């Protein structure tokens, strides 16, 4: 039955902070607490938007921005180092109601790449901008700019030293640095009007080179939202997610294959990605408020907020 005018649905927000070889043995209690606190803060800030009747789009923006500001995650402040010792940032956002999207790749010095992705979506005639010229667009639109020191964290630097000078490129969470497993961030939301949205932000892979771009800023690969189906944000080795167009494929299987969100995620993520040897995780939310979080790594930082229920924060168990 279709929704009557002014009728509302329960809001939902799901976030992730990356997946990887996060094992209980390596994650000490203090660090675990820090992560949980950071995830809770992002859930709370994004959830506040939804509670007040704000849009799913604003909620994912706020949740991702909160995690970009936290040095624990590989996005915004705390992003991984690239081959040259800098930080190249990728982000995207999509509105499930209008199918409008914005994204930015290989941007430097923009404090909140998700904000730039949003401005691109809102104000420009483009979907994806990249590199130094995209910085001009950020400046023209008055976005906050920081010097490279702002993005630097000692842990990330030490992580990069292990790979520096080699061709080795790895997931930030798969580094052997003790007790520090950080991640790409993402959020999916459904607001009280039933609109869906998704956003993802990352520093990409450690020691990435040649202008490498992962799935996070690629609409359909790392991020997708469509009110008729679902909202999806991915994390993991982006090359696999691009090849399988994971986020859009989940939506397509629901739309054209008549499958549920859980079935579509199972097909794309568990069967296809696994067959190719891809590693990572996905958070997804459908138009009925069903939530799926899946990962084939040891852990994935994630949180779920559902109207009228207690917030849930997880790192390990599926």
| Residue tagged 């040649």 (tokens) | 210
CA atoms of 245 and 232, how far apart (whole Å): 11
Per residue, the 3-state secondary structure of 34-91, as one string, reads HHHHHHHHHHHHHHHHHHCCCCHHHHHHHHHHHHHCCCCCCCCCCCCCCCCCCCCEEE
State the Cα angle at 151 between 145 and 156, rounded to 5°.
Answer: 165
Closer of 50 and 80 to ligand ASP (Cβ): 80
Chain residues 236-275 in contact with ligand ASP, contact rule CB under 6 A: 236-238
Task: Verify binding: residue 78, ligand ASP, rule CB under 6 A.
Answer: no
Q: Which stretch binds ligand ASP (CB under 6 A): 137-145, 189-197, 202-210, 297-305?
A: 202-210
Chain residues 133-192 in contact with ligand ASP, contact rule CB under 6 A: 171-172, 183-184
**Least Cβ distance, residue 256 to ligand ASP (angstroms):** 26
Distance of CA 41 to the CA centre of its chain: 16
Q: Do 57 and 50 form a contact (C-beta atoms < 8 A)?
A: no
184 is catalytic: yes
Closer of 112 and 195 to ligand ASP (Cβ): 112
State the Cα angle at 161 between 156 and 166, rounded to 5°.
Answer: 120
Q: Which of 12, 175, 184, 200 is catalytic?
A: 184
Task: Verify binding: residue 215, ligand ASP, rule CB under 6 A.
Answer: yes
Count of residues interacting with ligand ASP (CB under 6 A) = 17
**Least Cβ distance, residue 61 to ligand ASP (angstroms):** 19
How, if at all, do strands 230-236 and 280-286 pair? antiparallel
Q: Which of 235, 251, 252, 297 binds ligand ASP (CB under 6 A)?
A: 235
Closer of 237 and 302 to ligand ASP (Cβ): 237
Q: Do 78 and 87 form a contact (C-beta atoms < 8 A)?
A: no
Task: Verify binding: residue 204, ligand ASP, rule CB under 6 A.
Answer: yes
Query: Which residues are tagged catalytic?
Result: 184
What residue ranges bind ligand ASP (CB under 6 A)?
18, 74, 171-172, 183-184, 202, 204-205, 214-216, 222, 235-238
């Amino acid at each position: 039955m279709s929704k009557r005018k002014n009728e509302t649905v329960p809001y939902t927000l799901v976030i992730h902070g990356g997946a990887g070889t996060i094992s209980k043995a390596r994650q000490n209690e203090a660090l675990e607490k820090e992560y949980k606190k950071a995830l809770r803060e992002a859930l709370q800030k994004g959830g506040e938007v939804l509670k007040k009747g704000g849009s799913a789009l604003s909620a994912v923006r706020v949740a991702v921005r909160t995690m970009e500001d936290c040095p624990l995650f590989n996005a915004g402040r705390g992003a991984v180092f690239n081959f040259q010792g800098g930080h190249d940032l990728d982000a995207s956002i999509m509105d499930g109601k209008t199918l409008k999207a914005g994204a930015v790749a290989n941007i430097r010095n923009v404090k909140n790449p998700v904000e730039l992705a949003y401005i691109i979506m809102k104000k420009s005639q483009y979907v994806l901008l990249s590199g130094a010229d995209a910085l001009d667009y950020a400046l023209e639109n008055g976005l906050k700019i920081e010097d490279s020191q702002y993005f630097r964290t000692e842990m990330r630097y030490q992580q990069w030293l292990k790979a520096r000078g080699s061709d080795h490129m790895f997931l930030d969470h798969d580094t052997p640095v003790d007790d520090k497993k950080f991640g790409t961030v993402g959020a999916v939301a459904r607001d009280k009007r039933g609109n869906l949205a998704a956003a993802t932000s990352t520093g990409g892979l450690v020691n990435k080179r040649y202008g490498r771009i992962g799935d996070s800023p690629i609409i359909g690969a790392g991020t997708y939202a469509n009110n008729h189906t679902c909202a999806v944000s991915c994390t993991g080795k982006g090359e696999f997610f691009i090849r399988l167009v994971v986020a859009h494929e989940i939506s397509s299987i629901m739309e054209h294959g008549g499958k549920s969100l859980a079935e579509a995620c199972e097909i794309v993520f568990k069967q296809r990605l696994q067959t190719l040897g891809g590693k990572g995780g996905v958070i997804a939310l459908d138009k009925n408020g069903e939530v799926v979080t899946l990962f084939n790594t040891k852990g994935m930082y994630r949180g779920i907020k559902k109207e009228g229920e207690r917030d849930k924060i997880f790192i390990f168990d599926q």
